[in-house]
Amino acid sequence: MRTVTLNNGVEMPILGFGVYQIPPEQTEQAVADALAAGYRSLDTAAAYGNEEAVGRAIKSSGLAREELFVTTKLWISDAGEDRARRAFDTSLRKLGLDYLDLYLIHQPYGDVYGSWRAMEGLHGEGLVRAIGVSNFHPDRLVDLIDHNEITPAVNQIETHPFFQRATDQEVMRERGVQIESWGPFAEGRNNLFTDPVLGRIANAHGKSVAQVVLRWLIQRDVVVIPKSVRAERMAENLDVFDFDLTDDQMAAIATLDTGASLFFDHRDPVMASRLGTATLDD
């Protein structure tokens, strides 16, 4: 597995397994299948409601803790220095772990700065190897960097062929932040899996459209965490290190960029209010 080196020297697999929208009752089996297929990076969040199931799968896998790279995220209702610390302890307990590899602020709302102070403290205590953010646009990311001691190691954002985030990635590169994609397949929107440009490239390599999308992200040095509950699809998603897209193929995919989210804009006041007041059921 290829890795990327984060800004504090920590190695992170460039391809991992995400559990967003996998129901808790299916998560343990899905993660067990992913680990059996060869995934060693797992991405969950307090808001997903399946941290405990991820933890059970890790425990039953028999894998050594140091073989795994585990990420979870802090939800908005737990923002703030004291609450973030308590939320971290809860996530760690649910996962059944002694430390996290990566802890992210899930959304750019609420007391982000209080949360970040707590996360800097957790990092200093060795309870988390790297800290970062998710869904931060460049202005919010740069503001956080300029007013705190630790630069986020990762920014996990919507990134797929129809919303490619090249400008965001360049800002991150300049600031030493690793871009990570969520929604790499755009949840099938814009008919991604039958797109003619992606289809022609897939046929040329004898690969699937999904494999082409993952390869495209990897060649852009984007960390990616595809989700599936099907073991055969998990294996297929891992099988992307035996071919390369040509410069012409990369350029062809670049023409698909719409420059806009297919889900929602984090700068939309209505969405900011809706997310910012959402709480978690423990």
Catalytically annotated residues: 48
Place of tokens 């089996």: 29
Question: What is the CB neighbour count within 10 angstroms for residue 144?
Answer: 22
Rounded CA-CA distance 179/171 in Å is 10
Q: Are strands 223-224 and 178-182 parallel, antiparallel or unpaired?
A: parallel
How buried is residue 48: exposed, middle or buried, by Cβ count under 10 Å (0-12/13-18/19+)?
A: buried
User: How many Cα atoms sit within 13 Å of 241 on the Cβ side?
Assistant: 8
Rg (CA), the chain: 18
